[in-house]
Amino acid sequence: MTKAFPNIAEGLKSAGIKLLNMGTFLITRFIASWKRYFLGDTVDVHPSPSFDVRPSLAGPVLSLGGGGPDVDDAIQWLINQVRGGIDSATKVNVVVIRTNGNHDYNRLIYAMKGVNSVETLIISNKQDANKSEIVEKVKNADVIFFAGGDQCQYIRNWKNTKLETAVKSVYLKGGGIGGTSAGAMIQSDYVYDACASSEKGIETRDALEDPYRDITFTYNFFNWSHLKGTIVDTHFDRRERMGRIMTFIARQIKDGVSNCVLGIAISESTSVLVDKNGLVKVIGRGAAYFVLGNHLPEVCEPRSPLTFSNYKIWKVRSGDTFNLKNRPTSGYYLRSVKRGRIDSNPY
């Protein structure tokens, strides 16, 4: 029987040459407790500023996904916006961040137009979130994408770390920040953190019956300019979460956080795209809802059903737009909550 290779060394050498000829590399490295998965044209993202002068980025822009199947076009939009357009010769480096999971985004994103490299970092504790190697990789990225997961874990492990600062630096230099499900929720000004409730978090019925039971918020995480005064919710219409976001809004006003709060509620398989001027476009299979509370709730107390009149709701279907910077003064409908019940179909 003839062997394919005379010895193991020759076989490994041949296999290595084939990988080099393909022009791409897939590297999995385990450093302490964090994992790194890389796919791209170079092993290091912008390894040396003195030798790699990067073009200016055209953002900052945001992509907020509602969970469920990803909207691939939303990620491509994020990349194109940062590059400066679909015909730009610029290629960007993308970093995916999560607390657990795998590298399933790498091949999807690497196949998109204008991508030089994509790297997934699994960062599950504050110690790793402060490591210089991780921080440098994030700072040198052009696009950051937060996978879905558990927003409580994201906040507990990443808030007040050097990783948080590095992500902010990408936004400030004109990069793109995206995320889906929990990865979208952590980007709003006020974050429902789900740290006091079950894995799936509080749902509408319980939230409306008691606006304070097992409902906690995190503040001053990511402060994106066009998301000031907002709270994001996802998996929206499928899980019937309108009453839940109404409760979140009422809490911010009652607790003195703000006197006017805009909820951004995103359906599954749907994304809200925010350009550098604050103009939103909704894409995907469903709709997004922009829910405004702008006065004190009539009743928002522990162990008491919520009463809050006249929320303004804009339903923005796929393909339509909404201006966060210059909020529309028409096109909305009104819904009220009375003793824990919404007065009519809010969708």
Between strands 261-266 and 230-233, the pairing is: parallel
Q: How far apart are CA 241 and CA 218, in angstroms?
A: 19
Q: pLDDT at position 190, please?
A: 98
Tokens of 184: 């979208």
Measure Cα distances from 106 to 37, 59, 66, 86, 201 in Å: 8, 22, 20, 20, 28
Taking a C-beta distance cutoff of 8 angstroms, is the pair 58, 83 a contact? Answer: yes
Tokens of 174: 């004109």
Q: How far apart are CA 50 and CA 47, in angstroms?
A: 9
Instruction: For domain 25-46+55-187, say whether CATH 3.30.70.100 is its number.
Output: no
Helical H runs in 186-290?
Answer: 204-209, 242-254
- Using the 8-state DSSP alphabet, how is residue 180 labeled? E
Question: Residue type at 203?
Answer: E
Domain boundaries, the chain: 25-46+55-187, 197-270+279-347
Q: pLDDT at position 12, please?
A: 41
Paired with 94 in beta bridges are 118, 143
- Listing from the earlier edge strand, what are the strands of the sheet with 308-317? 230-233, 261-266, 287-293, 308-317, 333-338, 341-342
Residue 336: how many CA atoms within 13 Å on its side-chain side? 12
114: closest CA among 83, 86, 91? 91
Q: pLDDT at position 59, please?
A: 86
103: closest CA among 117, 118, 120, 116? 120
- Using the 8-state DSSP alphabet, how is residue 306 labeled? -
Helix, strand, or coil here: 292?
A: strand
Q: pLDDT at position 343, please?
A: 96
Give Rg (Cα) of the chain: 22
Tokens of 127: 């110690």
Q: How far apart are CA 201 and CA 194, in angstroms?
A: 5
Mean pLDDT by runs of 10 across the 347 residues of the chain is 44 42 40 58 46 73 96 97 93 95 93 95 95 95 96 96 97 97 97 82 94 96 95 93 98 98 98 97 97 98 98 98 95 98 96
Residue found under tokens 């995480």: 221
Q: pLDDT at position 58, please?
A: 87
Helix, strand, or coil here: 194?
A: coil
